[in-house]
Structure 1
Amino acid sequence: MPLTAEQQAEIDQQRATPRQTLRAVSEGMEAHLYVPHPVLDHGLVRVVDYMGDDAAICQAARVSYGTGTKSVQNDEGLIRYLMRHWHSTPFEMCEVKFHVKLPVFVARQWIRHRTANVNEYSARYSILDREFYLPAPDQLAAQSAQNNQGRGEVLAGDEAQRVLDLLREDAMRSYDHYEAMLSQDGQQGLARELARMNLPANIYTQWYWKVDLHNLLHFLRLRADAHAQYEIRAYADLMCDITRDWVPAAFNAFRDYRMDAVSLSAQGAAALKRRLAGEAITQETSGMGAREWREFQAVWG
């Protein structure tokens, strides 16, 4: 993830000029502020700004003055109660603004989360860089036989190299034509807003993505999940680390009650109770469909 000298100088200047403030400060988040964290081959995530911390969640829940902190133990207990009972509003009092550099096809998945403010780099006004996402060999996989949305076995040998060569050659050829259409050398040159249509979905774009903590956690629950596509999961995993440093009590509660929790339907709960009572349960007698039964067995054996 190469940064230009100008970009690095701007980041260095931002981090070298701290300012006195009366607002809530998270020491963990201060360490991330402005720092570009690399993702994939050319991507990045960096925190541009944030508001609030664990105490702000408790302050909002209690509608109190000052920091709202009774004690660390009391605050953690309150946050866990809020998370456990799906009281989401206090978590909306914290916000964060990310600068993200990501492939266009990942951005199209990401934008499905419509509960954020987004401002994307415009290829109508600027010329995109010649930067494309090319998967690492261990991420080149065949279509899954069980999951229409997922990957199966990793490609190997000549086939993997052939796919990588095609991806690279097609991306470079498209960008060559993009430059040729834009060029005003001996011609008028095509407008940027039209020339961009020929660019591939693995070219990198950038945006500012501002979101409150409640909706960020919802994004992370879906995109940091093992079933999410690897490329967007790489961003979500990094953002989990940042969020853990920002609001550790809230993130730990989120991990316990959302990410690592198990959800049961009414049929699943009844089947579990019957099993604990010593009854032999089958899919046919459980009231669950075949897929739900497989998921039930994966958790409960």
Structure 2
Amino acid sequence: MRFRSDMTVELVKASAADSDVLWAARVSTQGEQSLDEAGADPARSGGLINFLMRDRHGSPFEHSTMTFLVSAPIFVFREFMRHRVWSYNEESGRYRKLEPVFYVPGPDRKLVQEGKPGKYVFVSGTEEQHKTAEETVRRSCEASYAAYLEMLDAGIAREVARSVLPVGIYSSMYATCNARALMHFLSLRTKHEEATFPSFPQREIEMVAEKMEAYFAELMPLTYAAWEANGRVAP
């Protein structure tokens, strides 16, 4: 049995650059000559990218792709599925035996919710509450995985046996998106003081989003800067 509290995100492949935005935007006025922008220095056209972001001309930001390999608890992936412009392929408990790797809240995970839904905050909680959470999660996961193995050993199909496993078990998936979809995801799944529209994401999916944001900032620095300058709102 393994217990962990981290999320991993790996950029598998990407075709994403600020110049993608430029040639896509300029086709409206330059036609096929806009292809010259594919090899141009995007820094001299940062103003155009900012204009597109500010006035929410979003389609030029869709001509890029990024594929991530994500390892996280299943309950994180269930939140991902709300983002329907993405493409997903996840490992299947029907076809392979799932490994006993489970999520347990780390010591820095705030445990106690205060306030009403839609207007609440999380606070750290006491040492006793953290101890209770960790011990209860471990005990529950150990029991559920033992039941899972019992059914597999009895010859019961994986797709049936997996029904006893908790959503805290880790899974892995490939997730592919374009820059516009990623900006929308980040606007909802990160909490940022300078965001025009405040968001209050679950911490575990925010941990994934933070890693994706770092890749985005590296791949498309001008687009990322314009997105931040305009309140972290997807165009």
**The TM-score by the shorter chain falls in which range?**
0.7 to 0.9
- In the alignment, the residues of structure 1 paired with residue 147 and residue 9 of structure 2 have an alpha-carbon distance, to the nearest angstrom, of 30
Matched letter for residue 244 of structure 1: A
Q: Secondary structure of 1:48's match?
A: strand
Matched, 1:55 2:53: no
| Residue in structure 2 matching 1:86, options 42, 56, 67 | 56
Matched letter for residue 60 of structure 1: A
> Where does residue 238 of structure 1 map in the other structure?
211
Question: Normalising to structure 1: TM-score of the pair?
Answer: 0.68
Q: Residues 18 and 42 of structure 2 are in contact (CA less than 8 Å); yes or no, is this contact kept in structure 1? A: no
The change in CA–CA distance for 1:52 and 1:142 in structure 2 (over 3 A counts) is closer
Q: Residues 86 and 175 of structure 2 are in contact (CA less than 8 Å); yes or no, is this contact kept in structure 1? A: yes
> Where does residue 41 of structure 1 map in the other structure?
5
Q: Residues 144 and 150 of structure 1 are in contact (CA less than 8 Å); yes or no, is this contact kept in structure 2? A: yes
Identity of aligned residues (%): 32
Report how far residue 71 of structure 1 moved: 4.7
Q: Which one has the bigger strand percentage?
A: 2
Report how far residue 140 of structure 1 moved: 4.2
> Where does residue 96 of structure 2 map in the other structure?
126
> Where does residue 30 of structure 1 map in the other structure?
none
Q: Residues 53 and 230 of structure 2 are in contact (CA less than 8 Å); yes or no, is this contact kept in structure 1? A: yes
Unaligned runs of 5+ in 1: 3-39, 262-301
Report how far residue 159 of structure 1 moved: 2.7
Q: Residues 69 and 75 of structure 1 are in contact (CA less than 8 Å); yes or no, is this contact kept in structure 2? A: no
Q: Residues 145 and 165 of structure 2 are in contact (CA less than 8 Å); yes or no, is this contact kept in structure 1? A: yes
Report how far residue 108 of structure 1 moved: 0.7
Report how far residue 68 of structure 1 moved: 3.9
Output the aligned Cα RMSD: 2.1
- In the alignment, the residues of structure 2 paired with residue 104 and residue 96 of structure 1 have an alpha-carbon distance, to the nearest angstrom, of 21
Q: Residues 62 and 68 of structure 1 are in contact (CA less than 8 Å); yes or no, is this contact kept in structure 2? A: no
User: Residues 246-287 of structure 1: CA distance to partner in whole angstroms, max 9, x if unpaired?
Assistant: 0000000011113289xxxxxxxxxxxxxxxxxxxxxxxxxx
Instruction: Between the two structures, name the one with larger relative contact order (CA 8 Å, sep ≥ 6).
Output: 2
Report how far residue 217 of structure 1 moved: 0.7
Q: Secondary structure of 2:103's match?
A: coil
Q: Residues 7 and 207 of structure 2 are in contact (CA less than 8 Å); yes or no, is this contact kept in structure 1? A: no
Question: Normalising to structure 2: TM-score of the pair?
Answer: 0.86
Matched, 1:117 2:83: no
> Where does residue 141 of structure 2 map in the other structure?
171
Q: Secondary structure of 1:259's match?
A: coil
Aligned residues: 219
Q: Residues 19 and 40 of structure 2 are in contact (CA less than 8 Å); yes or no, is this contact kept in structure 1? A: no
Q: Residues 184 and 233 of structure 2 are in contact (CA less than 8 Å); yes or no, is this contact kept in structure 1? A: no
Q: Residues 91 and 173 of structure 2 are in contact (CA less than 8 Å); yes or no, is this contact kept in structure 1? A: yes
Report how far residue 147 of structure 1 moved: 3.4
Q: How does 1:176-195 map to 2 (within 5 A)?
A: 176-183=146-153, 187=154, 189-195=155-161
| Residue in structure 2 matching 1:107, options 66, 77, 95 | 77
Report how far residue 72 of structure 1 moved: 4.0
Matched letter for residue 223 of structure 1: R
Report how far residue 143 of structure 1 moved: 2.3
User: Residues 65-97 of structure 1: CA distance to partner in whole angstroms, max 9, x if unpaired?
Assistant: 234466544321110011001111110001111
Matched, 1:223 2:189: yes
> Where does residue 67 of structure 2 map in the other structure?
97
- In the alignment, the residues of structure 1 paired with residue 20 and residue 37 of structure 2 have an alpha-carbon distance, to the nearest angstrom, of 7
Structure with bigger gyration radius: 1
| Residue in structure 2 matching 1:212, options 172, 178, 181 | 178
- In the alignment, the residues of structure 1 paired with residue 42 and residue 169 of structure 2 have an alpha-carbon distance, to the nearest angstrom, of 46
Q: Residues 16 and 65 of structure 2 are in contact (CA less than 8 Å); yes or no, is this contact kept in structure 1? A: yes
Q: Residues 102 and 206 of structure 1 are in contact (CA less than 8 Å); yes or no, is this contact kept in structure 2? A: yes
Matched letter for residue 165 of structure 2: L
Q: Secondary structure of 2:184's match?
A: helix
Q: Residues 43 and 222 of structure 2 are in contact (CA less than 8 Å); yes or no, is this contact kept in structure 1? A: no
Unaligned runs of 5+ in 2: 28-33, 193-199
Report how far residue 49 of structure 1 moved: 1.4
Report how far residue 238 of structure 1 moved: 1.1
- In the alignment, the residues of structure 2 paired with residue 73 and residue 193 of structure 1 have an alpha-carbon distance, to the nearest angstrom, of 52
Report how far residue 141 of structure 1 moved: 1.5
Runs of 4+ residues deviating >6 angstroms: none
The change in CA–CA distance for 1:75 and 1:152 in structure 2 (over 3 A counts) is same
